[in-house]
Structure 1
Amino acid sequence: MTVTHSKMSQSVQYPEVTIQRARRAVRCAPFQLKLYIAMREEGVFLGEIAGTAGFKAGYTEMPIPELNAENDLLWLINVGVLRRKVDGQGITDSFRLTPLGRLVVREWQEHGESWPAKLTRFDRVANWLRRWLRLPL
């Protein structure tokens, strides 16, 4: 198991299979490291990620329709990398990193441009199967 520490000095343990699944999902998502770093600091609204706004901000390599961006963000929530930010009135359309997401992003930053490495066909198929068919892999 890999251990990560939160701000409150409590350790969170994740099975290696969970970390691998999170890495794969982040690598398959259409988002750039800049977005994840912004989400680590504060919530980022969907409108800032989708379309030309996300492209201009450096969050995506090309403009992504809002529905597609939201679906990709919701998948990252299901994997455990992201969460929706909550305000006094409930859930917002703003997204933040979870402790697992912070671990994966920290690894990405430490490896720089060499991570994520080129995705293999297995990575893409495994992510697709988990996402769309909900098969255990």
Structure 2
Amino acid sequence: MTPTTSNPAFRYPQKTLDRASRAVRCAPFRLKFYVIMLDHSVSLSAVAGIAGIRNQYSKRNLSELVADGDLLWLIQVGLLRREVDGQGLTDSFRLTPLGRQLVGQWQSVGGFGKANLGDRLLNAMNRWLRLPF
């Protein structure tokens, strides 16, 4: 399996795909951030602060706390996972199979679009209130 292909034998529920896509549109990260993770893990230090802008991973300067919170939300919706080494968890992140599938789709259409007000409201309800939307 190549990094940009997904397993066609497994289909995610549409609700899962919609929630994950919405979370990405609302997150402060650029497509390049997700594309890099097709082949490599990305550390928190490469995303936070001025490094995130320099690496073209984020749309704005993010504090480490804000970046970590957004990355953890993407873990909860199933797009990312923490990288593990021989010592345990690291501060790096990788794509899950769901993330690989969606990034492959976004690459083929040139991006994931922008979040509208409805996206932001539903994402906030999912993230902060844990309502099942």
- For normalisation by structure 1, the TM-score amounts to 0.89
Percentage of pairs with the same residue? 53
* Aligned structure 1 segments of 4 or more residues deviating by more than 6 angstroms: none
SS of residue paired to 1:40:
coil
Letter in 1 for 2:129: L
- For normalisation by structure 2, the TM-score amounts to 0.91
Letter in 2 for 1:67: L
- The number of residue pairs the alignment matches comes to 128
SS of residue paired to 1:14:
coil
Q: Kindly state the Cα deviation for residue 119 of structure 1 after the two structures are TM-superposed.
A: 2.0
How does 1:17-32 map onto structure 2 within 5 Å?
17-32=15-30
Partner of 1:90: 88
Q: After superposition, what is the alpha-carbon deviation per residue over 1:55-104, rounded to whole angstroms, capped at 9, x for unaligned? A: 10000122111100000000000000000000011111100000100111
Letter in 1 for 2:59: E
Q: Give the counterpart of 2:118 among 119, 122, 126.
A: 122
Task: Give the whole-Å Cα distance in 2 for the aligned partners of 1:24 and 1:32.
Answer: 14
Q: Which has the higher strand share?
A: 1
Structure 1, gaps ≥5 residues long: none
Q: Which has the higher helix share?
A: 1
CA RMSD of aligned residues (A): 1.2
**Bigger relative contact order (CA 8 A; separation at least 6):** 2
